[in-house]
Amino acid sequence: MSSNILTKRISDARAKGRLGLIPFLPAGYPDKARFWTEIDQLDEAGADIIEIGMPFSDPVADGPVVEHASLKCLDAGVNLAWLLSELAARKGRYKAGLVLMGYLNPVLQYGLARFALDAASAGVHGVILADVPFEESGSIHAAFDPQGLVLIPLVGLNTTPERMALYAKGGRGFAYFVSVLGTTGVQAGFDTGLPETIRAGLEKAKAAFDIPVALGFGLKHPSQLAALDGLVDAAVFGSALIRHIDAGGDSRGFMQVWK
């Protein structure tokens, strides 16, 4: 199994008898100053990994909550140069593992090799690129791997065992399992029990990967976590956190409820 810090953070949570907690917040949300206050609170309140969104104008995997938040950040002038510079100034400040999530276009515009170097230098441990399939990941691994930067595999309900095996080969960090065939934060979720389609998909993922498996895209409240125990190692929540902040809450209060 990978000894990557992301793997370790989730494994440590599992050793304590709970799922790893991975909150997501778009960079610069709800504004550039308060964003860092929210990140500090997530870390202090026990987030195992913090996922930071790289705002993009065409976020094809994001539902309306995350898309609206990301567009607001873009309007405020948030970009990769700002994010990586601010992270570099805070390097060593966070106990949580740090992951950037987004799309390939901004990374290519920044420069793939430059991005890998600057992200790793800023203390980022992993990256999720939602629109990069396995077949197009070779050049990204070539840039990321020498910097110790992990490209996190993204699989889902319609990923075959054979294809999962491709992603699992040499996998590090954790695998991200998408629980819906759609965008983030809009489905009804699984309030009354885990649907068999998700259960079957998670069983395939757990069989394929020897790194932790995290589930995202369908979590709205903490009561859902009980249905996942034994099937996944970590839970990702983004739209729920954004809604909480929009309603006047803060990340510390949110984490206290989920933990």
**Spatial contact of 140 and 150, defined as CB atoms under 8 Å apart:** no
Q: Residue 59 in contact with residue 184, Cβ under 8 Å?
A: no
Residue 77 has phi, psi (to 5 degrees) of 90, 15
- Distance (Å, whole) CA 6 – CA 96: 8
- Measured between alpha carbons, how far is 205 from 49 in angstroms, rounded to an integer? 20
First to last CA, the chain: 26
- How far is 108 from 8, CA to CA, in rounded Å? 29
Residue 173 contacts residue 153 (beta carbons within 8 Å): no
108 vs 110: CA distance, rounded Å = 5
The 10 Å Cβ neighbour count of residue 90 is 14
152 and 127 Cβ atoms separated by less than 8 Å: yes
CA pair distance 124, 53, nearest whole angstrom: 12
Residue 102's beta-bridge partner residues? 129
β-sheet bridge partners, residue 26: 53
**Total residues belonging to the chain:** 259
Please list the active-site residues: 51, 62
